[in-house]
């Protein structure tokens, strides 16, 4: 089971889901509006995570020269037994030689961590990053884009 949780958009990956790119569907979590489901082998989501990893240098450079009016968030993978959960850290800072952040939400499946825990991820645990500006613009947020695109598609389907 994989889970991605964010204060903005969250993805819960249920092992029992049969989702495909053709369907572009997400499953809502019954208890949390900030959590939704995506298959753990979803190629579009995996590509988004790879893009985030490949562009991580952009985030690291930006966070070392922070700008007022911007929020810097980092999504990381937490593991406990067979459970894997992706969660957002905010605030995040550079702490040479790496990034350090505060867990922004209580994880759903991972019980060894809670909101407010300090997390120091290694690069392989980073699944996304985003810089949000006061004017509504953003940099990064590749997994967020996948979920938002799918949610818009589902809304269009419902409205037909």
Rounded average pLDDT over 10-38: 48
CA torsion, ordered 31, 32, 36, 39, to nearest 10 deg: -50
Residues 35 and 20: their CA atoms lie apart, in Å, by 18
Tokens of 116: 């407010």
First-last CA distance in the chain:
33
Domain extent at residue 80? 2-159
For the chain, how big is the Rg over CA atoms in Å? 15
Interval 78-124: pLDDT, tens: 999 998 888 999 999 999 889 999 999 999 989 999 999 999 999 99
SS3 state at 87: strand
Evaluate if pTM is beyond 0.85: no
| Total domains, the chain | 1
User: In this predicted structure, what is the pLDDT of residue 30?
Assistant: 66
Residues 98 and 130: their CA atoms lie apart, in Å, by 17
SS3 state at 53: helix
SS3 state at 116: coil
Interval 105-118: pLDDT, tens: 999 989 999 999 99
């Amino acid at each position: 089971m994989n889970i991605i949780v964010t204060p903005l958009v969250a993805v819960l990956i249920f092992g029992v889901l049969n989702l495909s790119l053709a369907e572009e569907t997400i499953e809502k979590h019954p208890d949390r509006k900030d959590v939704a489901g995506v298959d753990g082998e979803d190629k579009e989501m995996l590509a988004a995570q790879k893009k985030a990893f490949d562009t991580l240098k952009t985030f690291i450079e930006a966070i070392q020269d922070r700008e007022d009016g911007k929020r810097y968030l980092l999504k990381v993978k937490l593991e406990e037994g067979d459970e894997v959960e992706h969660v957002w850290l905010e605030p995040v800072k550079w702490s040479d030689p790496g990034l350090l952040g505060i867990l922004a939400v209580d994880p759903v499946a991972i019980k060894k961590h809670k909101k407010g825990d300090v997390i120091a991820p290694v690069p392989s645990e980073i699944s996304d990053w985003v810089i949000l500006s006061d004017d509504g613009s953003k940099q990064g947020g590749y997994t967020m884009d996948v979920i938002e695109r799918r949610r818009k598609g589902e809304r269009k389907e419902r409205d037909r």
